[in-house]
Amino acid sequence: MKHLLSLEALSGADLRAILNRVADFKRNRTTHAKPLLGQTWALIFSKSSTRTRVSFEVGLRELGANVMFLNASDIQLGRGEPIKDTARVLGRMIHGAVIRTFAQSDVVDFAAYAKIPTVNALTDDEHPCQILTDIFTFEEQRGESITGKTVTFVGDAACNVPVSWLWAAARLGFTLRLAAPKAYWPDEAIVKRASAGSALPWSGYSADQVVERLSIGAGMLELLTDLNLAARQADLLYTDVWVSMGKESESTQRLKELTGYQINADLVKLAKPNALVMHCLPAYRGKEIDEATVEAHADTIFTEAENRLHTQKAIVAWLVE
């Protein structure tokens, strides 16, 4: 049985198998096959969502399924019922689950105990559906593969979105530059896992280092504190909120420490002339990106949002094939 719990768990061939289906789902939105006819899928969400919730509800219905939305605080999970018990109950009643929660172990445990196809719709560790969508959108808009290109992420480089980008770079063979203060670089354990087996084994962050460049699987990872250096000749500039869901108590400190790590017109000028600017949304204007840059790149950014629908259909079709 297949699940989408993380990009780390997938191979490059798996990622391509999903990405190769997306354009067909987009082109033939009303006429494609309905592999979920007769099935019921549940969305189980412990965090807020606009794009993920709506795109999965619409997409699963268009694939033929009945869909139920379960706010985790409305079911016994919110009163402390263990995830493994919730999973064993739902696994006997429904055919697939899409879960947005905090701990990665919750989606892993749900999949193991429910024994039904399970999708990570965002955890604290990864946001795999978003990054698959972003890669499809990059290749759709540019008309060429992301392999060999340079993606620059600016902002909180330790959160779920850049970590999923990191695994995508390792699997699909592109360079990922992460521009952030050192306290917002990814956890060392993740970087070590990604670089395992490379020709130049990586030994960990050193105290005074402001640039790290290392080999990760088929790709490269560059960690920088200087966002201008990171943006130079990039093919894609990408950012996400400075205060992820669950980090609200750190809001004041994060806004202070991440100030300046913003995508704006000055930064865009340093990238390639045909560079794309993307944001997984919601966007906080004046913080990780400015208003003028959102509006200048709105066509790409809102196509990216729409593509959540088409990409997630491809993910679910791949899971149940």
50 binds ligand CP (CB under 6 A): yes
SS3 of the chain: helix, strand, coil, percent, to 5: 45, 15, 40
DSSP letters spanning 238-264? EE--SS-TT-GGGHHHHHHHTTT--B-
Stretch that binds ligand CP, among 33-41, 43-51, 65-73, 250-258 (CB under 6 A): 43-51
Q: Which is nearer to ligand CP, 122 or 236 (CB)?
A: 122
Q: How far apart are CA 199 and CA 145, in angstroms?
A: 25
Q: How far apart are CA 63 and CA 3, in angstroms?
A: 17
Residue 280 · residue 304 · CB < 8 Å:
yes
Does residue 280 carry a catalytic annotation? Answer: yes
AA letter at 163: V
AA letter at 183: A
Kindly report whether the peptide bond that precedes residue 282 is cis, defined as omega within 30 degrees of 0: yes
Which 52-71 residues touch ligand CP, going by CB under 6 A?
52
CA–CA distance from 224 to each of 14, 45, 86 (Å)?
30, 34, 42
Does residue 127 carry a catalytic annotation? Answer: yes
Counting every residue written for the chain, the total comes to 321
Does residue 95 carry a catalytic annotation? Answer: no
- Catalytic residue (one of 127, 171, 254, 310): 127
4 binds ligand CP (CB under 6 A): no
123 binds ligand CP (CB under 6 A): no
As to burial, measured by CB atoms within 10 angstroms (0-12 exposed, 13-18 middle, 19+ buried), residue 238 is buried
Q: How far apart are CA 60 and CA 98, in angstroms?
A: 10
40 binds ligand CP (CB under 6 A): no
46 binds ligand CP (CB under 6 A): no
DSSP letters spanning 279-318? E-S---BTTTB-HHHHHHTHHHHHHHHHHHHHHHHHHHHH
Q: Which residue has the tokens 């990054």?
A: 131
Does residue 193 carry a catalytic annotation? Answer: no
Stretch that binds ligand CP, among 9-17, 44-52, 103-111, 193-201 (CB under 6 A): 44-52
310 binds ligand CP (CB under 6 A): no
130 binds ligand CP (CB under 6 A): yes
Q: Which is nearer to ligand CP, 191 or 316 (CB)?
A: 316
293 binds ligand CP (CB under 6 A): no
Among 281, 284, 296, 306, binds ligand CP (CB under 6 A): 281
303 binds ligand CP (CB under 6 A): no
Kindly state the greatest CA–CA separation across the chain. Answer: 58
Q: Which is nearer to ligand CP, 7 or 220 (CB)?
A: 7
Residue 278 · residue 236 · CB < 8 Å:
yes
- Catalytic residue (one of 124, 134, 156, 240): 240
Q: Which is nearer to ligand CP, 122 or 224 (CB)?
A: 122
Size of site (CB under 6 A) for ligand CP: 8
- Catalytic residue (one of 280, 297, 310, 312): 280
51 binds ligand CP (CB under 6 A): yes
Going by C-alpha positions, the residue among 182, 308, 154, 133 that lies closest to residue 240 is 154
Q: Which is nearer to ligand CP, 116 or 280 (CB)?
A: 280
- Catalytic residue (one of 3, 106, 125, 130): 130
Q: Which is nearer to ligand CP, 28 or 73 (CB)?
A: 73
Tell me which residues touch ligand CP (CB under 6 A): 49-52, 122, 130, 280-281
Active-site amino acid positions = 100, 127, 130, 240, 280, 308
